[in-house]
Each structure stands twice: as structure tokens, then as C-alpha cells.
Amino acid sequence: MSEIKVFNTMGRKLEPFKPLMPQTVRMYVCGPTVYDYVHIGHGRTFVAFDAIVRYLRLRGYNVIRVQNITDIDDKIINRAKETGKDWREIVDFYSRDYLDGLSALKVKIDAHPKVTEHINEIIQFIQGLIDKGHAYVAPSGSVYFDVDTFPNYGALSNTKKEQWNQGEEFVREKRHPYDFALWKAWKPGEPYWESPWGKGRPGWHIECSTMSTRYLGESFDIHGGGIDLVFPHHENEIAQSEALLGHKWVNYWLHVAYLTIRKEKMSKSLKNIIPLKDALKTWGPNVLRYWYLSAHYRSELDYSEEALESAQKGLQRLKDAVAALRGIISQGPKHRSDDEAVKVQREIANLIEKFHEAMSMDFNTSEALITVHKLADLVFSKVQPMEDFTSATLALEGFRIFNEVFGVMDEEFGAVNERLFKVIDAVLEVRNQLRARKMYDLSDQIRAVLENAGIKVLDSKDKSTWRFA
């Protein structure tokens, strides 16, 4: 099996993937700020990391994925003011939208920490930075990180601190204009929590540092998110985390490229933002997942109705191939594979290996999908005409591996398993009747055919059962 390599944004190069703990991968992915509907760009990031998690698990790793929910932020407060609603009502409504979207896309998260549930830990984190001389309390009661105390600032993004224009109103009380807020002092009408520095709330960046270390430890394997988070969010996370901890914090940084709408960036000004819930209604989760994963996660992906229609057709062809295999398998083994069938089986095995090679090379779902379509072509051109049971079974295993990662044919595989089991049960029942009539020669032949197909027959006095060998 190919060695897994990942493209690390820190250093911008491919690196062998070696988790800090044997066979365990700890991953943190930045989740949404819940002040509006999640859109198809968010959906791409969720699914991209889901495919990464699924492949790592396929390779035998235990993966722990943590994805936060930012439930207090300027955007939430502003939306509450705009609508006249309580900020908690805003959070509850859009959190449900986010979680419903994840569920529809079949994305599972192991822990979903919320900022407001970790205020005490955030305060302790900030106090630790103050005690070490990396942060200071401003006259307003806000607390800022002193960027000049962290010499490696900018290593992730290759951005110079002097280039960062934050446009904040409290810039006058900072030591340097590029210092960033860890704690924001309370303003009348805003929600607040008590702290050693007065009433206030956490800054955006500190929450992820605090919650990731809380759930994954002081060093972990993968930190990810959209490419738009590289600077300043992830850059600031590194600065404050490594300043406090005193060592390397994250081993691999992975970032998903932009999703565009007909070659234009999504923006409210262009009014081209497509809510995820609307896309799910139109195309369904399987087509969306297929389309998301048709491009490598580091390549831009462009939305259009034509692109989704193409994805729909591509997915249908794969489903048709699985249906063809199901038909062959349902007939049961007819004969031993001849030389031509064995040659086809080798082609299938090679394509399965190519799938793994693609996924091992920085989780290249685009190349992996091309390989799976080659498998479908082989099914229609060779496997189906020869109706070879072993070839069909091996090809079906290739599609099962594909689906483990892509998650676009769960229904088909449920049906395949159910029908296959029924066929085997029916064959075994016929054999039981033959044994009852003492027609042992014929029952032994059936047993041999089943075992050649990888099905172990377990005989008892009354009847026989089976399992996969």
C-alpha cells in the first residue's frame, strides 16, 4: 500500500504523513460562525475533510475530528441588532441549519465544542499569555497579543505583520497596529462574561487555540479549514498557541481552495451566495458530494448547473456499473474463471491499487474518481459480457472501497449486501434439501462452488450456515 503524503501549507510542500501517536490521528477543522445560513462553499470544506477522515480510517487509523461552532462574535451581535432578536436565538437557528447540512451530507464530527461553553478555559489561556509577557491589558479592558514577542509570525502565510490592516476602532490603544484581540471589552447592549480584566467576550482567534488543545492535546496532527483562514486566523492561532505552549503545536496544515460561482467569488454584494440547504434540495447529498470531490481539495471548484448535471450523470454511470455487478453476482458462480477472466481480475486489482495511490498522494479525490470511472468502463466492456462471478465480486469490492471514501452510493451497497445474502441463503437452503434427501454428491458440488467464491459453509446436523472465508 502506498505511503500517505500530505501537502503542508506550513512550508508548502508534500510531506510523508506520520501521526504523533501510532494509528491515531487527531484533527481540528474550523467550523462556522453561526449568524447566517451555511453555503455551498462551507459544504465543500466539510466534505473535503470528511473524505480525508474516511480514507485515513480505511487505512486503519483511528481518527478524532473536532470541529468548533463559533457562537459569539461581532457578526452574531450585529445580526441580532439588525433583526431585533436575542443573539442566542440567532445562534440556535443557524446552528440547526449547520447541523442539518452536515447530517444531510453524511459528515460526522466527533466533538462540536462551542465558544460559550469554554469561556473559563479561554480566560485561563489568555492569562497564561499575559503571565508569559506575550499579551497585555489595554485601558479599555481589552487584551491584545503582542505580535512582536513571537519572532516566527507570518511563517504559515508568508505575510509580513506590517501589511495587516485590521481596521479596528481600538487600534489607538494597541502597542502595535498589527496586535490582535484576545479579549474584547464589553460595550453596552452586548453580551458579556466576567473576567480578571472586566466584562467582555473572547476574540475570534483565541477560541480555536483553546478548544483544539482542550480536546486534542497540546500537540496534534492536522489543523484545517478553508484557504481564506490561512491569514490572519490560522497565523494568529499559531502565534498565541506556540507562545503559550513553548513548542510546535500542529504538524500538518491543510487548506481547501475557494469555491466560485461561474468563475466569480461568492459575495453578498454580487448576490451569488447559494445556501447549502437550497443546493441539497435541488441536487441531493450524493450528487453534491460527488461534485465536491471531483476536484482535488487544493484546486478551485466552480459551480454551475452544467457542472452539477455532469456530476449527476457521472454518478449514475457508477450506479449502473454496480447494478450490472449485482446482476452477475445474483446468478451465483457458474464456473471457474478462465484465463481471460483472470486477466480482467488483475486489471481490476490494479485499478483498486491506483485508487489507493491517488488517495495516498495528498488525498487526490479527482484522480481517484478517474480511476473509479475506468473501473466502470471495465465492468461494461469486459466483466458484464463474460459474466464472471469472481471478477464481478472483485469489482464490487473496488466500488465498496470507493464508496467508503466518497459516500455517494450507500443505498446501492445496502441493496447489494441484502440481495447477495438472500442469494447465498437460497443456495444454502437448496443444499440443505439435497442433504436431507441424501444427495450428497450434488450438495458437495454446491459446497465446493461456494467455497471457491470465498463463502465458507458450516455444516451441522439439521442445517448448514455460512460466513465469508
Query: For the chain, give me the number of helices (H) and strands (E)?
Result: 14, 15
In the predicted structure, residue 137 carries a pLDDT above the cut 70:
yes
- Higher pLDDT, residue 161 or 270: 161
Beta-carbon contacts of residue 69 (< 8 Å; ≥ 6 apart): 31, 32, 34, 95, 98, 112, 113, 114, 115
Chain centroid offset of residue 163 CA: 33
Domains of the chain in start order, with CATH, are: 5-303 (3.40.50.620), 305-408 (1.20.120.640), 420-468 (no CATH)
**What pLDDT shows up at residue 461?**
67
- Higher pLDDT, residue 416 or 173: 173
- Higher pLDDT, residue 413 or 179: 179
What does the pLDDT look like over 62-114, one tens digit per residue?
999 999 999 999 999 999 999 999 999 999 999 999 999 999 999 999 999 99
For strands 464-468 and 455-459, give the pairing: antiparallel
Band of pLDDT at residue 169, cut at 50, 70 and 90: low
Cell numbers standing for residue 188 = 453596552
Beta-carbon contacts of residue 396 (< 8 Å; ≥ 6 apart): 322, 325, 326, 329, 416
d(CA 111, CA 29): 11
Q: Which secondary-structure segment (H or E) carries 350? A: helix 339-360
What does the pLDDT look like over 393-405, one tens digit per residue?
899 999 999 999 9
d(CA 410, CA 8): 32
d(CA 382, CA 421): 25
**What pLDDT shows up at residue 459?**
78
d(CA 202, CA 214): 16
**Taking the CA atoms of the chain, what radius of gyration do you get in angstroms?**
27
**What pLDDT shows up at residue 419?**
64
d(CA 90, CA 159): 34
User: What predicted TM-score, i.e. pTM, was given to this entire model?
Assistant: 0.87
Average pLDDT of span 7-28: 97
At residue 145, φ and ψ (nearest 5 deg) are -85, 130
**What pLDDT shows up at residue 164?**
81
Band of pLDDT at residue 426, cut at 50, 70 and 90: confident
Burial state string for 161-196 with b = 16 or more CB within 10 A and e = fewer than 16: beebeeebebeeebeeebbbbbbbbbeeebbebebe
Beta bridge partners, 255, equal 225
d(CA 233, CA 230): 6
What does the pLDDT look like over 44-63, one tens digit per residue?
999 999 999 999 999 999 99
What does the pLDDT look like over 191-223, one tens digit per residue?
999 999 999 999 999 999 999 999 999 999 999
Gap between the terminal Cα atoms of the chain = 22
